Structure 1
Amino acid sequence: MSLDIENPLELLAYLRREGHIGAAETPEMQTLAGGVSNRTVLVTRESGEAWVLKQALAKLRVQVDWFSSPTRVHREATGLRTLAALTPPGTIPALLFEDHTAHLIGMTAVAQPHANWKQMLLAGQLELDHVAQFGRILASIHGGAWRRRATLAPQFSDRSFFESLRLEPYYGYTAEQLPQAAGFLRTLIAQTRQRAQTLVHGDYSPKNVLVYNGRLVLLDHEVIHWGDPAFDIGFAMTHFLSKAHYLPDQRLDFAQAARA
């Protein structure tokens, strides 16, 4: 039977069997909300040590049929290792273990108290220092990877997860639903596919950032690939501009953040 980490009894047996915890240890296990493409569980050990376990889903939890190979979690594991070497210390959670059979990874949990940056922005809590950090982290990824391109370009050349989780459902699906925009979107898809310049996170947005002690921690790296860095910049800017639309009283502040 395949492992479901959202089942506490199954997960407990798995952690004991694999030697990740003691045979008599019973940690606290909490399923984390918002998992569209993964099962995500917070495991807190008796010592206070906390892990986050992620297990990729073959069929995403959305209304339309949306499939992607669960092997993408291993791309995320590679991303965790690589990004930790490119970004400022503490930006990327440490990878603890990886299971190629159950398609799951374990990483250190971000300490409490922390906050999701997207939720902070929706509440109007915009700090330009956070925006500056966000820009510096992305610059460290794009610039650092380009300097190591001889090694990293072959390692991240497979774009299949970016295709199935970004280009097809975002641009391709929208082109089908909005024929008046189809020409523009299909040209954009073609241009994005043609460019292979540096390491691209592919999900670079405030929703994948936690704020702990004033520092940003970047999460969710399953579509990382060697490609067009403009995708990350555009993806990030849409969040600031959409917040400017959502919070009209702070429209100028969010517009400034998008330009920063």
Structure 2
Amino acid sequence: MKVTTTQLDIEQPEQLLAWLQESGLIEPDEQPAMQPLSGGVSNRTVLVQRPSGQAWVLKQALEKLRVAVDWFSNPERVHREAMGLRWLTQLAPPGAIPALVHEDHAAHLLVMDAVPQPHANWKTMLLAGQLDSNHVSQFARLLGAVHRRAFERRSEVAPAFADDSFFESLRLEPYYSFTAGQLPPAADFLHRLIADTRRQRLTLVHGDFSPKNILVYQNRLILLDHEVIHWGDPAFDVGFSLTHLLSKAHHLPARRADFAAAAGQYWQEYAATLGDVPWADALEPRAARHTLACLLARVAGRSPLEYFSAELRARQQQIVTGLMQAPPQTISTLIQQFIERL
């Protein structure tokens, strides 16, 4: 069976097998195990396990995302992710990034090493109340290392990631612009934040730094999903990631104090890892604003948190729009004010 790369659907086993053979990635008579993976809205994702024991994950970008509202994005973004894999292996702590194996521009897909079993998704662990301060520390140091080292190598990294169109279509529009259109009381805050974000070109920004994109293997955190990586404002990554710890504090009242403490630990260890880069001192107030914006976007934007009830969404929306009237200037103040209002 011969499949043209423009028609390839890697979730169809016969098509995927033919592509693997034609690409020379496996032997002509080889029969690997192929298992579609769930959870993502923007890609087809399949685990391929070879008889030799070698295992890969294949990602093929979708033009129309799998969400309830119409949401489109150029499938070329998977090649931005491939570039991200190449660079992040140099910038992140050792072992934190899977290796890139192959890239197919016509089919908009990449092949990378699979994280060995047994592993667990960090988001799943957190929702089960499995909060480990060592994991929080690794999460903070991973982001801080990428931000600092990319800045140190900015003459090489900045030109490679100057295009922020995927960040615009997958983050600023669905998270901030869409939410502003839904909630007039927050519109001015969000529009000003969008304009400020576009002005800040400081370091490599992951854009999807979230527990759902972290696998825990042998007590080590491994980061996935780099398709919105770009040269921009690191405050977005901080706010985007803090949102998940604070939202879980909201969702799990029995562990509220623990998640609030984890959020504070995360910021402190990130800032310590970042060190004395020239823009570090001005980062915190922007990070606080991005945290507010993301807390709101995850209950009122195009991609709401699926584990929140309607009641929790309404409560978080009320709290955050209130805090936006006089935004906290520090992360510790933001955490305190958010938790007090729950």
TM-score (norm 1): 0.99
Q: Distance in 1 between matches of 2:8 and 2:201?
A: 37
Residue in structure 2 matching 1:176, options 168, 177, 181: 181
Matched, 1:162 2:167: yes
Residue in structure 1 matching 2:217, options 191, 207, 212: 212
Query: For 1:39, what is the secondary structure of its paired residue?
Result: strand
Matched, 1:72 2:77: yes
Which residue of structure 2 lines up, in the alignment, with residue 109 of structure 1?
114
Greater length-normalized contact order (CA 8 Å, ≥ 6 residues apart): 1
Output the amino acid matched with 2:34: M
Output the amino acid matched with 1:238: T
Residue in structure 2 matching 1:81, options 82, 86, 90: 86
Residue in structure 1 matching 2:242, options 222, 227, 237: 237
Which residue of structure 2 lines up, in the alignment, with residue 225 of structure 1?
230
Query: For 2:103, what is the secondary structure of its paired residue?
Result: strand
User: Which runs of structure 2 are paired with 1:28-67 in the superposition (5 Å)?
Assistant: 28-67=33-72
Q: Distance in 2 between matches of 1:28 and 1:238?
A: 37
Query: For 2:248, what is the secondary structure of its paired residue?
Result: helix
Q: Distance in 2 between matches of 1:65 and 1:32?
A: 22
The one-character-per-residue Cα deviations of 1:175-200 (angstroms, maximum 9, x if unpaired) are: 11111111111111111111000000
Q: Distance in 2 between matches of 1:259 and 1:188?
A: 23
Residue in structure 2 matching 1:8, options 10, 13, 16: 13
The one-character-per-residue Cα deviations of 1:32-51 (angstroms, maximum 9, x if unpaired) are: 01120000000000111100
Query: For 2:115, what is the secondary structure of its paired residue?
Result: coil
Q: Distance in 2 between matches of 1:25 and 1:64?
A: 40
Which residue of structure 1 lines up, in the alignment, with residue 157 of structure 2?
152
Query: For 2:41, what is the secondary structure of its paired residue?
Result: coil
Which residue of structure 2 lines up, in the alignment, with residue 98 of structure 1?
103
How far did 1:210 drift?
A: 0.2
Query: For 1:210, what is the secondary structure of its paired residue?
Result: strand
Output the amino acid matched with 1:206: P
Q: Distance in 2 between matches of 1:75 and 1:7?
A: 24
The one-character-per-residue Cα deviations of 1:51-87 (angstroms, maximum 9, x if unpaired) are: 0000000111112111111110000000001000011
Matched, 1:188 2:164: no
Q: Distance in 2 between matches of 1:153 and 1:258?
A: 29
Output the amino acid matched with 1:23: P
Give the fraction of aligned pairs with identical amino acids, expressed as a percent: 67
Query: For 1:199, what is the secondary structure of its paired residue?
Result: strand
Q: Distance in 2 between matches of 1:119 and 1:191?
A: 33
Q: Which runs of 5+ in 1 are unaligned?
A: none
Alignment RMSD, CA only? Answer: 0.6
Output the amino acid matched with 2:78: V
How far did 1:249 drift?
A: 1.2
TM-score (norm 2): 0.75
Q: Distance in 1 between matches of 2:84 and 2:52?
A: 28
Q: Which runs of 5+ in 2 are unaligned?
A: 266-342
Misfit runs of 4+, over 3 Å: none
Which residue of structure 1 lines up, in the alignment, with residue 258 of structure 2?
253
Looking at secondary structure, tell me which structure has more strand per residue: 1
Q: Distance in 1 between matches of 2:264 and 2:62?
A: 36
Query: For 1:43, what is the secondary structure of its paired residue?
Result: strand
Matched, 1:121 2:126: yes
Looking at secondary structure, tell me which structure has more helix per residue: 2
